[in-house]
Amino acid sequence: MPRVEDGVNLDLPSGLTSRPATAADAGAILELIATCEVDADGVPEVEEHDITVAFGRRGFDPELDTQLVFEDGELVGWADLYRSRGEGDVRPTHRSRGIGTALLEWMERRAQSLGNTEVGQTKTDANLGARDMFLARGYEPSWVSWVIRIAFEEPPPAPEPIHGIEIRPYQPSDARDVHRVVDTAFSEWPGRDPEPFEVWASDDLAHPKFAPEISPLAFDGDELVGVLLAFDYPGAQRGLDHPARDQGQPPEAGDRPGAVADVVRLVLRTGPAGRRRLHRHADRRARPVREGGDARAASVHPLHQAPRLSAG
């Protein structure tokens, strides 16, 4: 039978309880996500500020938009929903007990209550259990996300100038123009609604790891035509050899692999040469750089899930 905990209705097995999250739960959520990432991919990708910043997103209400599941005081599952994007995990030792299904059903109900006609979640292709659960419920793959990494033994060469294009670091006065470029680029994706400036700024610009000094912008005269936003994670090289998994140790909070610059790259008019020069402006350090990207199309690899929910 469904349990009601703090006004939240979840259909959970006996012995499990649930409640909304608060900012005080950030550490426990971080540990759970990192454990699940190590189990699936061998390294933790999550970082502490990814969790704390999420609680400050504009329009996000933890009382209504989050779920935590506990057994004997231990956090064993979590989920949240922000706009039409959901996230969630179940501790590997507690899977196949209906926790994931209960969280997914909550996510669907919450999305429908907000008037959304679909809901999505991205999962690693190594999490076969999540893939099977989504597909069994009628979800469809919509896009593939990936992480690209390069390690530098020495700083890369200085970028060559582009005729007619000025490249300089981000400044606070650029915020509105940067949002316009970013939102225009992402709005080319099918089904993606424009994101208000306040929502975008509360997630990206407010992130403590946002590094304006290594975030180059490209201008054609007075017009901003290219953006690269960088997020600096000092000491992140440590996770590259998968030490936590190889030694059977739990992941450390904030032990994020790889990145000096966790990069959102959006170039509208500078072309391939401009993209290379933007990278060189951001990457002039002898440390690894890691970049995220998406490919959205009608038919894509089915293992990175962005499930869809039909209203009704």
| CATH number of the CATH domain containing 55 | 3.40.630.30
Please tell me the predicted confidence (pLDDT) of residue 32.
Answer: 98
Averaged pLDDT, 58-63: 91
Final residue of a domain: which of 129, 145, 161?
A: 145
Range of the domain at 45: 3-145
pLDDT in tens, 194-244: 889 998 898 889 888 888 998 999 999 999 999 988 888 765 443 333 333
pLDDT in tens, 244-257: 333 333 334 333 33
Averaged pLDDT, 104-118: 91
Whether 53 and 140 map to the same domain: the answer is yes
- What the block records as the tokens of 255 is 């032990």
Other Cβ atoms closer than 10 A to 81: 25
Please state whether the predicted TM-score (pTM) of the whole model is above 0.95: no
Within a domain: 94 = yes
Within a domain: 80 = yes
pLDDT in tens, 112-149: 999 988 888 888 888 889 989 988 888 888 877 777 77
Q: How far is CA 304 from CA 30, 167, 174, 175, 246, in A?
A: 21, 34, 34, 31, 25
Rounded CA-CA distance 51/58 in Å is 14
